[in-house]
Structure 1
Amino acid sequence: MSGYRWRIICPGVIPTVLLLFILAFPGVVMGAAEPFNDIRGHWAEKSMLEMNAYDIVHGYPGGRFLPDNQVTMLEAVVMIINTLGLNEKAGRVDLSGLQFHPTVSWGKGHLALAAERGMLTRQGLPLIDSRRLASRVEVASMVCLALGLPPAPEYLTFNDTADIPQQYRGYVGAVVKNKIIMGMPGNMFLPGMPVTRAQMCTILNRLIDRKMVAPPSSMALVRGRITEINKDEQKVTLRNLVGEKSVYLPTDLAIYTSTGTVSPTSLDKGKRLKCIADSQGRVRYASLLDESPPVDSRVEGMVVAFDRGDGGYSLTLENGTGDRVTYPVEDDALLEKGGQELDARDVLKEDYVEAGLSEDGRVVSIEVFTPQRIAATVVKVADRELTLRSRGREVTYDVSKQVRVTRNYIREMNYDELRQGDRVEAVVMNRTVFQIDCLSGGGDADQMGMVSRVRDDAVYLYVGKEEKRYELDNGAEVIKNGRTVDPDRLNRGDYVHYELDREGRLIYIEVLDEKEGEFEGTLKYITYGGPPNITIVTGSGLEMDYDVAAGATILRDGDEINLSDVIPGSRARILLKDGRVDELEVLDDRNLTVEGRVAGVNRDKWRLTLDIGGRNFTFPVMAGVVITGGEGESPDLAHLEGYMVEAQIKDGKIEKISVQ
């Protein structure tokens, strides 16, 4: 920092400003950017040409740019003010009451405006010698204060961070965080190193390129894919998120590439082009960009907002954990859905997207996936999990912390107001629920029947042994073979799962595939001969018979057992494959009612053995068991052998016996 002492006072947030065009050289004809003979192959060649095309930074007589010349404090202030578009304002600023260093003969308005905007202090103006060089730490601080960036000292991880004066660390950290100024080789910042013209152009060009400030009002930065080439008119049409724009390329314009330059005649459709053009669309600078923008990382989530502001488009996503993050979007970001390119207006709220981010966190590509919209019935509501049944399958989904829940698409409701049996439409992506609309509620979660007949406004179902008539809701959904069909496609004898609204109207009917699927119910009968056969009774009384496949898996409490160990009357889940039971899981065989002949009594151990369907099962008996029925006086436990009984079992023990 040499011996120069300069104090900067942070003013807080500085309002965003528009750029104005600086006419530093009146009479200059607007054409291609000025050619220079001393920057070809320079690492900052493109930045210098772009800043010159904006008419913000100019060269010297003789076609020189002098890229490695060091910048004075006065020059740095003027460059920053001009990049902010405040050149004209600097020419009108009131200088009364201000003092300047005797060497300052020009740029006083820029210095005064910098002090007015908090980049400098009024007290420090007399100390700015027009010959004094600007250091990296001073430029970083002025840029930070000019943009109103919040200090971010935590982003300083350089090996020489200790060399950065304490009062500047927050400002330097802020520009490093926003990738406006980078470190030097060896992970060094070199705070006292003077800044060159090439470095200054690179720093300020990043502000425009990343839309932190706008281009000069008479100039435009246009990036897009070439959709049309008119060689006669020297015109190309570029397409980006904003739409289509035509620009005019002079025949002698050098278009820069990663390896050199090409002429306008070598352009092809589909190429990505970056142009700086005047208000009439005449290009002063152009460069070909990578066909596929480099992607440093990827993020995905539900679109909360995709808006265009002064700084271009921004994309706000909600991820699976409910966090919402906003990303700036490049004008020519590639938008695709199913391999087809989209316009910005095609990206809607509630679309699910995967966004590719550049190294500096800007969106360069967006792939749109339409979220799954599931019409389903609520089976279980947990804190951040929701189990839904749709088309005969139960699936448990994660629930976003920001999940939006409505009733009938209108009234907002809380997630914890959902109840088992509610009929819902859920917006799901990657097994995460982002939105739920509750269409109805309160129905039986296990209603099954057989179609008896179908009318225009009603369906008749056999539920158990009773035929019932149900009116059809106007929006009733009928599913058959996995597809939505009209109610008249239902046939007599179809097994169906159905759901009712609170008024008892049918809102959902799904025809069950008798050969495939999963059902729960009570095992009424089990035949152990060959092939084994079961009869399962659903909660609505519908009886369904199935053979048990050879090698079927029989489970209880996660362990494999034999079919002969399954007690008729148990609650069970069966999985069908090719019309046979491929898997049977005993859900509850400790709370049931069974019928059988008493095959044995052990009074010492209080156990009763029953012959149920030709298999013996032994149950413990509760003390004080209630025994009723029989002719005359009911027998006691010791004399039950040989009797037909109905036994009610609770928690695995017989609590009541009815003698037949």
Structure 2
Amino acid sequence: MKLKRLLTWALALTLGVPALALSASAATFPDITDHWARTYIEDMTAANMFKGYEDGTFKPENALTAAEALALCARAEGIDENTMTEISDDWEDEVDDILDGSQSWFYREFAVCLETGVLTTSELRSLAQSDALTEPIAKEDLAVYLVRAMQLGPMAERLSSYPLTFQDTSSISESKRPYVYLLKNYGIVEGDQNNDFEPDRSVTRAVMATMLSRAIDFMEERGTSPDLPDYTSYDFQQGVITSTPTESSGGALLLTLKSDLTGETIGTVSLPQDVTVYENSMETTTSALKAGRHARVCLNSGGNAYAVRVSEALEELDATVNGIEDEYLAVTADGEGYSLRMDRFTQVQIGSTVGDRSIVDASAGYTDALCKLDDQGRLVAVIFSGGTQEAEGVLAGYSQNTGTIQVTGIDGATRTYTLSDDVTSTVDGMTDDVNAAYVGDFVTLRVSNDDGTVVSVAVDTETEYVQGSVKSVSYSSDTNTISVTDLDTGRSKTYKVSSGADITYNGESTPLRNIKDDYFVTLRLSGSYADMVAAYPGSTVTEGTLTGRTFDTSDATTTLEVTLSDGSRVNFKLDLSDPPDVERDGNDSSVDRLRTGDQVTVTIRYNEITKIEAEPQSANVTGTVDRIIQEKGGSTLEMTLSDGDEVSYTVSSSISVTQNGKSLSLSSIQPGYRLGLVVEDDGQVVAIEVQQAVNSSNRVSGTVIYVNTSDKYIYLQVVDEGGSEDVLTVNVPSSATILDVNTGSELYLRELDPGDVIEANGSYENGSFTATVVLRQ
């Protein structure tokens, strides 16, 4: 195993003259015949770790330099040649900058040391600048590097007790005693004839061969190998173990995990009986899979688990963000600075958006970060707060009344954003207010990660952007062109594409030939040429939970808020006079019957919503209302449940209240009503269905939002006793009388307009209000 582990490495490590070493076949040397380390030396020369000098000797008492010792520690990792090449390529510029030509023949080994944690860049820089790389290495310094090479560095750093029995223990630097302790504890080092460790003594080739051979044997026995996130490609699931794994009928272990970020259960993974479990980078048993610990389950190409890396409960650092550079996050916690690496396993949450390190914006200005570290010191999860994220696209709408703007992104989706009270705005770099006159111009937003409001808007009226569907792409020896159909006018226009244009599809660079007809595209024009072509599929599908719905009386629209599985929210604005096709529970339906809590699938053709499919959630709590306390922003319902328990729920005024598919106002619920509630795990009520109602008020008043003349109903915005706004469906049958109180004239339903203030007199029947007389104020 040892030969196989090390065969890919072939260094010539003689003192100062690596190019003049003998062939690796010289495994026996005349000057080690009676040497105490002969077995270890022959072991290491057979494994190509050491080679002899040109005179055929080994020179066991020659001292090793720090550079040679570090190179040997790198070789001990057993990394394959291809991965070593990738690592050295990635680190080449930084290592060359640090070494500045010194010891450059070891740059590949130094790269491996940096990647695997044998030493840090600051340590390597200090060694290079002080010329210590060419000096003999002290035994206590080697202890640190070798323990790190054995992947036990984090264990050493966590030790609070490390008793040593060497006679010269007091001579060992305090910071290095944990490393020496681990080497002694695992049989890598022993005391000399006087039981001294001799921490300051130079390490000879014989001593290095001995320590290295024992260390490699230990790593082979324990199954130790470096965990290299960015040089592996396996799929994985990770999270906090919820309970001791249970055994399935087939003998597999069922491991249930919950999110490190949200705490929500994310699923159960089946582990085969022969699964390999690692703790502290060493193989252990499945008994290490305990509740509260963190586990990363490694999956093969078939999606089956083959290994689990387990850590103690994650350590949390409530930190201040100092900066982000590439994949490194610089933070300060409790007065101590940390540089934490975000690798491909790092989970990231920014506001309500959850993802991997790709969602991190180095220019966002995050102020705080809750960092969660495993017992190897790796950044497993980080929750950023403060700061902003960027959104950009073409301004599609602006409403001063609601303080919102609509932006059609370069992906074709139109999203609604709320402007913060202190939003700053510029137009072509000059401070100016945004208004509807800039619809059609390109805008760049900075959106708060904390509350999702827009804190700044930058309008660009000087650069021309074009959005539409691709009609055709043509190629010629002179200039390529792209024809785009404007989705509003239906007219097409052809644009030249510059030779150096930035061309992308779904955010990834691609040749122009890959841009197909009917894709949604955003062009940026420079003169008569398009220097940016950003294409996305013509149709997109968004799936999530309907968590909010607001109405705008100024333009008879409703905005749906959909929360995606990653926690992010997308807003869709619908024109109530020309709504998309709606299916609910598999049946043809309408926009007014969509309810918060519905699982929805929204299909967008270019930037227009064409279909909404909804699946209602089933009520999981039923009971009778005993008392209602109305407050500003919502109400508290005191109820007796079906099982006799007495409970209370606080619900917001925006919650969906329905009966028989029709909207009711929250204020219309009365004591004695029997309700079915959709209640989430955290106790939040997301929807209410009135199952049985009692008689209520015979009069409602409010502002008309939308009039449906075919089905004869009105969306009415009402204000309850607590001052909260709500939306109520008022049925207006043909038999109802509609009057204008100012003129006394009788009206048709079609003559009522959004914004009209009305009073409807009638009655609730089965929880639905039906008007007999409607008075327009």
- Taking structure 1 as the reference length, the TM-score comes to 0.29
- Taking structure 2 as the reference length, the TM-score comes to 0.25
